[in-house]
Amino acid sequence: MKKVLVMVLALSLVLSLFAGCNKDDAEVTDKEVTTTEKEDAQVHAFIFKNTGNPYGEKQMEGFREAIEKEGHTAILKAPENPTVEDQIVIINELIGQGVDSISITGNDFDALQPALEAAMDAGIKVLSADSAVNPASRMTHINQADPELIGRVEVQAAVEMIGGSGQIAVLSATSQASNQNLWIEWMKTELEEGDYADVELVEVVYGDDLRDKSVAETEALLQKYPDLKCIIAPTTVGIAAAGKVITDKGLIGEVMVTGLGLPSEMAEYIENGACPWMYLWNPLDVGYLSGYTAMALVDGTITGALGDTFSAGKLGDFEVIADGEATQVMLGAPYKFEPSNIEEWKTVY
Amino acid sequence: MDKVKEKVSISEMFSKFRELGMVLFIIALIIFIQFRNSNFLTLENIDDLITNAAILSILAIGMMMVIITRGIDLSIGATLALSGMSTALMVSANQNMHPVLALLMGTVVGMIAGGIIGLLIAKLNILPIIATLGMMNVYRGFTFIIGDGGWVSAYQMPDSFVGIATSSFLKVNTLVWIAIILYIIAYYFLNHTRLGRQVYAVGSNPGSARISGVNNDFIIFMVYSIMGALAGLCGVLWVSKFASAQGDTATGYELSVIAACVLGGVSMAGGVGKVSGIIIGVLLLGILQNALPLINVSVFWQLAIQGAIILFAVLSNVLIKRNSDKKNLARRVL
């Protein structure tokens, strides 16, 4: 009897082990919402990078809000780990289900192409949101905010905070993160082009979006550059870690922190002055706009071609604009979070 | 003939004072780093260094005991996250909760998590690596479930809770004090109590331990429970230190802890490991993590350098062991 029990338990453990590694049942978030009995109801799917990411949860929430408002059905999916393989499995499942559209926040720029092309061949409208996939894999892309604007605005904020002269540093995510690297390029461009002779970008360091490493990197920056005036951290974990270190070391007012971060994570440090203000787009709006774009593609209102216009519910009218050779829909300028509005946003996301 | 003898005696010395070798290595490293960046040996930076290494050092105590019994625990990163998330949710809902109560709660959560693993391994004879790998996923999943995929942020935590990790006594951070107290207890427990010696006995020869009347199953259950409790405690300390609880907190952290143990001379084959050794292992890792960003090493090289140093330590461990085994054999022939 005991032996049988041992066998069963050992087996179930091994199974749970596989459940963790196995790509085939990787989707954990599988909130299928069937709200509609409409005749011509469409099914729209959204695939985020991974589960357990509050930013992604908000994006999917916005998507669902838009889709359900128009009486359609939203399928929200995300793999447990942020990998391409897991996303491909989900795409193939959705093709099998015969959904009307797939919106995806890509885990890779190129690698999803075969799966997404297969989806388009099956008549599914495909668009990327937040993190783009390559132009051949999509009909259009929903861009949170202009990377150029993000990079430039952050440098302008830092320069304003330090009063026009002094040393600044950048604390990024991983050295491979494409979003962050693009923004940092634009920061450097702004520093070159603008009139910032007295501002020196001393170093770009990488906290890998890990709390402990981001803290260690921030501390190292403070040790290496005693005259450092401002840290720009264009990533949620990084900016919160920097805010925490500045607060703990009693350097509020001496070293400023700015960048991109979740209002909930940064509320403490915006309220205590470690971070005078920072930026982010609203992930609810990114999801909401994706939802309306997906519906416009399925309805045939737009085809994803340059110059198409459509209406996106409460967000107003949008136009499909150029993104290099391809097209995109731009949500707008990054939103500024400061002491006066952080109170209302910190509980939102 | 004389030369051979001399060689043996040097290696003998080295194996006796393996920790001395590591200490010399660390001193050389410190001198090198200080030469590259004079801010390294400032009081502030040393304070940063030991505070950041405190959590790692606490976990290393538990991991050493587990490895001594020929086991391994891969679940501690997940246990840490689970305990951190549940405590964070608890204090954010009850802002007046006493910090000591929070510490206690996290420890209990961790101890239960570790106890379950201990039972699986001791009573059901599941291989430690499989049991802990499986439970790692289970606990990580629980963390996402109880946190509903979200994070608990700084503004939701009461000051008293965040204060655990920012407070200090005699200018030394509370985290460091907790680590020091735990090291004293661990030293006494492992070297001067019957139960502590039995941990070594089970690891070096389970068969003879059993025959000599050691309750092997209980010892195994105990070390995983202690490991879990320490991971649970560290979960609270982690969340307090960084003022944020995420579902993916400390993912992969178990590998750093295992590395610290291996660097400290704990043998993966079991039976061998000293408290003084893991202090050195933790110190070495702590210095690397603190100093590599200070001396302007490219990010691409940082990981490679860390890996190379760990490999170097393990290699020296293997070589020394082979030498001392050979020496023991030679003694037997004579």
Does residue A174 sit within a domain? yes
Statement to judge: residues A177 and A137 lie in one domain: no
Q: With contact defined as beta carbons under 8 Å apart, do A218 and A245 qualify?
A: yes
The DSSP bridge pattern shows strands A101-104 and A43-47 to be parallel
Model pLDDT, residue A10: 63
Report how far residue B207's alpha carbon sits from residue A49's, in angstroms, rounded to the nearest whole number.
Answer: 50
Task: Provide CB contacts within 8 A for B169, sequence distance 6+.
Answer: B177
**More confident: B11 or B41:** B41
Are A8 and A123 in the same domain?
Answer: yes
Question: Does residue A195 form part of some domain?
Answer: yes
pLDDT reading at A37 higher than 60: no
Closest-CA distance of chain B to residue A343, Å:
10
Distance (Å) from the alpha carbon of B130 to chain A's nearest alpha carbon: 7
> ∠ CA A34-A35-A36 to the nearest 5 degrees?
105
Specify whether the CB–CB gap between B135 and B116 falls below 8 A.
yes
Tell whether the model's pLDDT for residue B9 goes beyond 70.
Answer: no
Residues A243, A197 share a domain: yes
- What part of A 40-69 touches B (C-beta under 8 Å)? 51-54, 57
pLDDT class of A25 with cuts at 50, 70, 90: very low
Q: Please indicate, yes or no, whether residues A128 and A14 belong to a single structural domain of this protein.
A: yes
Average pLDDT over residues A106-132: 91
- ipTM of this predicted structure: 0.86
- Give the mean model confidence (pLDDT) for residues A191-220: 92
With respect to residue B282, please indicate whether it lies within any of the assigned structural domains: no
Other Cβ atoms within 10 Å of B275 Cβ, number: 18
Q: Which of A6, A13, A264 is facing B134, going by the closest CB pair? A: A13
pLDDT surpasses 50 at A28? no
User: Beta-strand (E) ranges in chain B?
Assistant: 168-169, 172-173
My answer on whether A197 and A112 are in the same domain is no
CB < 8 Å to B243, chain A: 240, 244, 268
Q: Is A307 left (phi over 0), alpha (psi -120 to 50) or beta?
A: left
What percentage of chain B exceeds 90 in pLDDT?
66
Q: Please give the pLDDT value at position A130.
A: 87
Number of domains in chain A: 2
Mean pLDDT for chain A?
Answer: 87
What is the C-alpha R_g of chain B?
A: 21
pLDDT (0 to 100) of residue A144: 82
Tokens standing for residue B302: 């940082």
What is the pLDDT confidence band of residue A29, given thresholds at 50, 70 and 90? very low
What confidence score (pLDDT) does residue B39 get?
87
DSSP A283: H
Please tell me the distance from the alpha carbon of residue B126 to that of residue A184, in angstroms, as a whole number. Answer: 49
* Pairwise CB contact (< 8 Å): A244 & B242: yes
Q: Are residues A9 and A139 in the same domain?
A: yes
What is residue A332's predicted lDDT score, i.e. its pLDDT?
A: 81
pLDDT digit string (tens) for B73-124?
999 999 999 999 999 999 999 999 999 999 999 999 999 999 999 999 999 9
Are A194 and A317 within one domain?
no
Residue B139 lies in a domain: yes
Domain boundary among A265, A280, A295: A280
Residue A322 located in a structural domain:
yes
Residue A116 sits in the same domain as residue A156: no
Residues A315 and A247 in one domain: no
* pLDDT at residue B207, as a whole number: 93
Would you state the pLDDT for residue A325? 82
Range of the domain at B101: 55-269
Count of the separate structural domains present in chain B = 1
Look at residue B255 and tell me if it is in a domain.
yes
Q: Which residue has the higher pLDDT, B280 or A8?
A: B280
Question: Which residues of chain A does B154 touch, with a Cβ-Cβ cutoff of 8 Å?
Answer: 240, 244, 265, 267-269
Higher per-residue confidence, B107 vs A301: B107
Is B34 a member of any domain?
no
Q: Nearest by CB to B125, which of A6, A51, A217?
A: A6
User: What is the pTM assigned to this prediction?
Assistant: 0.80
CATH of the domain at A175: 3.40.50.2300
- In three-state secondary structure terms, A258 is strand
- Are the C-beta atoms of residues B189 and B55 closer than 8 Å to each other? no
Q: Residues 216 to 275 of A: which have CB under 8 A from any B CB?
A: 216-217, 219-221, 223-224, 240-241, 244, 248, 262, 264-265, 267-269, 271
Strand ranges of the sheet holding A228-233, from the earlier edge strand across to the other edge: A199-206, A166-172, A228-233, A256-259
Bridge partners, A326 (sequence order): A323
Q: For residue A24, is pLDDT > 50? A: no
Window from A54-58, A92-96, A335-339 with minimum mean pLDDT: A54-58
The shortest CB-CB distance from A16 to any of B134, B290, B293 is to B134
Q: Is residue B252 part of a domain?
A: yes
Q: Encoding tokens for residue A176?
A: 């491979």
- The model's confidence at residue A326, banded by pLDDT at 50, 70 and 90, is confident
- Asked if residue A302 is part of any domain, the answer here is yes
Nearest CB among A10, A51, A213 relative to B144 is that of A51
In angstroms, the separation between the Cα of residue A301 and the nearest Cα of chain B is 35
Q: Which residues pair with A329 in a beta bridge?
A: A142
Whether A337 is in a domain gets the answer no
Q: For A22-26, A103-107, A236-240, B82-86, which range has the lowest pLDDT when averaged over its residues?
A: A22-26
> Of B52, B134, B138, which has the smallest distance from its Cβ to A216's Cβ?
B52
Give the 3-state secondary structure of residue A73.
strand
Closest partner CB to A223 (pick from B138, B246, B294): B294
Pick from A28, A71, A60, A15: nearest CA to A313: A71
A106/A134 same-domain check: yes
Distance, CA of B117 to CA of B128 (rounded, Å): 8
Kindly report the average pLDDT of chain B as a whole number.
89
**Domain membership flag for residue A209:** yes
Token pair, residue A248, equals 């703990």
Residue B301 CB coordination number (10 Å): 11
Question: CB distance B248–A52 less than 8 Å?
Answer: yes
Q: Which residues pair with A44 in a beta bridge?
A: A74, A101
Exposure string over A21-37, b if 16+ CB within 10 A, otherwise e: eeeeebbbbeeeeeebe
Q: How far off is chain B from A316, nearest CA to CA, in Å?
A: 30
Q: Map residue B11 onto helix, strand or coil.
A: helix
Residues A52 and A174 in one domain: no
Cβ contacts from A onto B, under 8 A: 121
Helices (H), chain A: 2-21, 54-69, 84-97, 113-121, 147-161, 178-193, 211-224, 236-248, 263-271, 283-299, 339-345
Name the percent of chain A lying above pLDDT 70: 89
Residue A252 lies in a domain: yes
**Angle at alpha carbon of residue B269, lines to B268 and B275, rounded to 5°:** 55
Task: Give the DSSP per-residue string, B243-254.
Answer: T-B-TTTTTTHH
Question: Burial of A324 by CB count in 10 Å (0-12 exposed, 13-18 middle, 19+ buried)?
Answer: exposed
Is A271 in Cβ contact with B155 (below 8 Å)?
yes
CB B113 within 8 A of CB B232: yes
pLDDT digits (tens, 9 = 90+) for B20-33: 777 888 888 899 98
Residue A287: which domain range?
A: 2-143+283-331
Same domain, A186 and A223: yes
Residue B1 pLDDT? 43
pLDDT at B35 over 50: yes
A199 located within any domain: yes
Cα–Cα dist B198/B116, whole Å: 21
**Among A54-68, B5-19, B276-290, the least confident range:** B5-19
Among residues A10, A93, A201, A330, the alpha carbon closest in space to that of B129 is found at: A10
* A171-184: b (≥16 Cβ within 10 Å) or e: bbbbeebebbbebb
